[in-house]
Structure 1
C-alpha cells in the first residue's frame, strides 16, 4: 500500500518529482508552503509522512511530537552535520538533500513502520500526560546510532492537594543523597506552585527548568548546557544542583511533556540521582479541552511520574490529609498504572491522630486505604522545620540531630543504596556536577 506523503520547502521540486516518478511505495498528496500548513494537513489525517526539504531549522521537539501523535513521521533533508545531529536529538530522521528518490522512499517506509509499532496498544512507553509525547519518530537511517540512556535514577516526590510537605521532603532528600556522596540534580516540576527556590533561599528569577525545556525543544540541550543552567547549592556535607521552577503559575505552557522528557534524559546523563518535586494534580487535561493537541497543564507532573524509577507518595498524617492521600494514591494508580508508589506519612504526631500514632495510622490505612501499604512515617518536628525554612537551609545544617532529618535520610538513602551503580560512573558524574 502506498504511503501518503506531504512535503514543505522551496527546494522540494526535485524531491517531489523524484518520489512521484517512482509510482511505488509513496505518494505525494500535498505540497505545502510552510510548516504550519504541513501541520494542518497532517492533523487532518491526510498523510503518514512529512518530508521537510527546506526550513528544517523550524522543527522543534514539540512540533515533531504533535505530528507523531497523529501517526506522522518526519524526514528532514539537510547537508549540515550539526543540524542533522540536532534533528536526531528531537526525533527526526535526516537525509542529504541529494538523496536518491528510491533511498528516500525506503527510509520513509522504514520510519512509518517503526512508528506504527510504537503506536500499538499496550506499548509500555506510551505517554499519559500528552498523547504525543512518547511517539517521537525513531530515526530511520540504519547507520545512525541513538544515544544510550543515562545510568542515573529518577525519584519523583508527589502528594495530593494541600500541604503534605512534598517540597520540604524532596529538598531534604536531595541534600541527604548529596551528603552520601551521590551527584544529585533537584528539579522543581510543580506547574501550580513551584517553591524549591524559596525553600532553599535562592533568589532565582530565571526558572531553570523552563530554560532547559526551551533548549531541549530546539534540540540544543546537552550536558554542558544543563550544568550551566542548574544552580549549585552547597551544604557542609555535599553539593547538589537545582533546576528551579517556573516563577509564575501562568508559565506552565513552557513545561511541555516532549521537552521535559528530553530534559530528564539529559539529567540521567549528568547525575547519579535526579529528584523531582512534582505538582499535585493528576487530572487528564484532554478531558478539559476539545483540542487534543493543546498544551497540557498537568503534563509536567504526569510525565515526571511516568519516567520516574521510584515514586514517593507523601501525605499529611491528620484527619484531612489521610483521606486525601487515600484518594490520591488511588488516582495515581489510575493515572500512571505502572507506578508502585512508596507511601509515606508526614508530620506524624499524637496530637493529630491519638496515642500510638503510627499504629493508629496503619490500622486506618489497612481498613480504608488502597493496596499499597504505608512504607514510612516521618515524625512532626515543627521547630526543626521552621528553623530550616527560616534560614533557607536543610535539616542536615540547621538541625542535624533532628529525628525528622534521620527519618528522611533513612527513607531515601536506603532505597538508593539498593539501586547503587558502578563507582566509575558515580565519580565521573559527581565531578561534572560539582565542577
Structure 2
C-alpha cells in the first residue's frame, strides 16, 4: 500500500527528488511552500505523512495534533540535538538533514505505522546519529511521551522531552449548578500536602476558573495558560512547570497551583495537545496532581466551527481522559441529584474509561429530610445509575464562608469541621489505613496529619 507524502521547504528538494526516484511505497504527491499550505493539503485527505524540510521551528504540539487527527504523521529535518529533542517532545519524528532518501522512506513508513496502531516508537536506526528514539506522533486522545522512550540528557535552558513520570492524576468533575468542584479539589490538594505528598493543583475550568479566588491569590497570572504555551512549543520541562506554578503554604504543608485563565474568552489557550504535555510533566514534577475541571462535556462544537478549530471543552475532556481517578461531585438536593444522574450518563458517553467515584456534597436534612444519607442511598438505588455512591460530604456553610473570607482552606480555618474531616477521609483514607491511623483521630483533626 502506497504512502502519499506532502513536503514543505525548498532546502529539501534534493532529498524529495531522491524519494521520488526510489519508486517505492513512499510517493511525494505535493510540494508546499509554507506550513499553512501543507496543513490545508493534509486536511483534504491528500496525504498520510508530512515531511518538513524547512521551518521545523514553527511546528507546535497543537499543529501536530491537528495533523494526527486527520491521520498524517509528521517527520521533520532538524539541525542539532536541541531542536530534535523539542520536536520529539511534541510528537514529531526528527531526522538529520543529511539522511539518505532510502533511510528517510523507512522512517516515514515507521511513523505512519506508529500513528495508525498507537504502538510505542521503534528503536533508532543507524541513520539517527542523535541516538534518540523517534516517538509516535501524538494522536487525539493519546498524549505524546510513551513508555520506553529514551532521550538525551538535557542541559540547562534546553528543550526537554523526558520519560513518563509516576505521579497520579485526580480529576474533580461535576455537572452545572455549582456542586462544589473547586472547594473539594482545593481542599483535597491541601489534605494530600498535609500527608507529606508533593502536590500540584490545576485549574482547568475553561468557563469559570476560580481556584485563585478560593485560595486568596491576588496576583493571578493564568499559570496553566503559560504552561500550555511552553508545552505547545516543546519547551516545558519540570523546572519550567514548577516556575509558573504558584506555591501555596498552609500550616500543615505546601503545594503548588497552576491558576486558571483570567477571562473566559481565553479558553483557546487551553488546547488538548498542549494540556496533555502539561499533565505528562505534572506526573514527573508531583506525586499527585489534582485537577479542577469544567462542567461541560459536549464534544460536538465541530458542528458549528471548522472541524479542526480548537474546542472549548477540550480542557475538561482531556483532563478526564488522562486522570487516574475521577471524582464526580453533585449537590445533595432535589435539583443537584437529578443533574448528577444525567451528568454521569453524559460522562460515560464522553469518557467511557473514567469509572467515576460518585460523591454527594452539601448533604443536609433541610434539603432531603431526616436521615439524609439513608434517604439519598434509597433514592440512588431506585433512580440512580449503576455507579455506587462513594461518599457524603456534609454541608458546613459557616466553615466554608470563613475559609473564603480569609482566603484559606479548611485544614487551616476549620480543622475540626465535619466537611474537612470528610474530605480528608475521602482522599487520604488509603494512606491513613496503611499507616494504621484514622483520619478521624484527634491528631488528624488538629491538622498534623490530614
Q: In structure 2, what is the Cα distance between the partners aligned to 1:72 and 1:320?
A: 46
- Bigger mean CA offset, 366-375 vs 280-289: 280-289
With over 3 angstroms needed to count, the CA separation of the structure-2 counterparts of 1:293 and 1:334, relative to structure 1, is same
Matched, 1:108 2:139: no
Q: In structure 1, what is the Cα distance between the partners aligned to 2:86 and 2:252?
A: 38
| Alpha-carbon displacement from aligned partner over 1:46-96 (angstroms, at most 9, x marks no partner) | 111111111100000000111111111111111211000000000001111
Which position in structure 2 is the counterpart of 1:26? 26
Which position in structure 1 is the counterpart of 2:205? 190
Q: In structure 1, what is the Cα distance between the partners aligned to 2:300 and 2:219?
A: 29
Cα distance, 1:142 vs structure 2: 9.9
3-state SS of the aligned residue for 2:116? helix
Q: In structure 2, what is the Cα distance between the partners aligned to 1:2 and 1:60?
A: 27
Cα distance, 1:321 vs structure 2: 0.7
- Bigger mean CA offset, 306-315 vs 8-17: 8-17
Which of 142, 145, 149 pairs up with 1:134? 142
Alignment check: 8 A CA contact 1:60 1:217 kept: yes
Which position in structure 2 is the counterpart of 1:401? 416
Alignment check: 8 A CA contact 1:118 1:135 kept: no
Cα distance, 1:9 vs structure 2: 0.9
Cα distance, 1:354 vs structure 2: 0.4
Cα RMSD between the aligned structures?
A: 2.2
Which position in structure 2 is the counterpart of 1:161? 176
Cα distance, 1:143 vs structure 2: 9.2
Aligned 1:88-103 pairs, distance under 5 A: 88-103=88-103
Which position in structure 2 is the counterpart of 1:123? none
Matched, 1:74 2:55: no
Q: In structure 2, what is the Cα distance between the partners aligned to 1:417 and 1:374?
A: 21
Q: In structure 2, what is the Cα distance between the partners aligned to 1:186 and 1:364?
A: 33
Which of 262, 271, 295 pairs up with 2:286? 271
Which of 338, 345, 369 pairs up with 2:360? 345
With over 3 angstroms needed to count, the CA separation of the structure-2 counterparts of 1:339 and 1:418, relative to structure 1, is farther
3-state SS of the aligned residue for 1:40? helix
Which position in structure 2 is the counterpart of 1:48? 48
Which position in structure 1 is the counterpart of 2:158? none
Aligned 1:290-309 pairs, distance under 5 A: 290-309=305-324
Alignment check: 8 A CA contact 1:185 1:271 kept: yes
With over 3 angstroms needed to count, the CA separation of the structure-2 counterparts of 1:216 and 1:167, relative to structure 1, is same
Which position in structure 2 is the counterpart of 1:4? 4
Alignment check: 8 A CA contact 2:151 2:163 kept: no
Which of 262, 269, 282 pairs up with 1:254? 269
5+ residue gaps, structure 2, are 120-137, 154-160, 436-450
Which position in structure 2 is the counterpart of 1:243? 258
Q: In structure 2, what is the Cα distance between the partners aligned to 1:189 and 1:293?
A: 21
Which position in structure 1 is the counterpart of 2:135? none
Cα distance, 1:21 vs structure 2: 1.2
Q: In structure 1, what is the Cα distance between the partners aligned to 2:76 and 2:25?
A: 18
Matched, 1:310 2:325: yes
Q: In structure 1, what is the Cα distance between the partners aligned to 2:326 and 2:77?
A: 41
3-state SS of the aligned residue for 1:330? helix
3-state SS of the aligned residue for 1:88? helix
Which of 388, 391, 404 pairs up with 1:373? 388
Q: In structure 1, what is the Cα distance between the partners aligned to 2:139 and 2:302?
A: 12
Alignment check: 8 A CA contact 1:185 1:242 kept: yes
Which position in structure 1 is the counterpart of 2:194? 179
Which position in structure 2 is the counterpart of 1:363? 378
What is the TM-score when the length of structure 2 is the normalising length?
0.87
With over 3 angstroms needed to count, the CA separation of the structure-2 counterparts of 1:4 and 1:418, relative to structure 1, is farther
- Bigger mean CA offset, 407-416 vs 336-345: 407-416
Cα distance, 1:333 vs structure 2: 1.1
| Alpha-carbon displacement from aligned partner over 1:167-212 (angstroms, at most 9, x marks no partner) | 0010000000000100000000000000000000001331000000
* RCO higher in structure (CA 8 A, sep ≥6): 1
5+ residue gaps, structure 1, are 120-129, 421-435
Q: In structure 2, what is the Cα distance between the partners aligned to 1:415 and 1:51?
A: 50
3-state SS of the aligned residue for 2:427? helix
What is the TM-score when the length of structure 1 is the normalising length?
0.90
| Alpha-carbon displacement from aligned partner over 1:196-242 (angstroms, at most 9, x marks no partner) | 00000001331000000000000000000001000000000000000
Q: In structure 1, what is the Cα distance between the partners aligned to 2:434 and 2:64?
A: 34
Cα distance, 1:306 vs structure 2: 0.6
Which of 245, 248, 256 pairs up with 1:233? 248
Q: In structure 2, what is the Cα distance between the partners aligned to 1:114 and 1:33?
A: 27
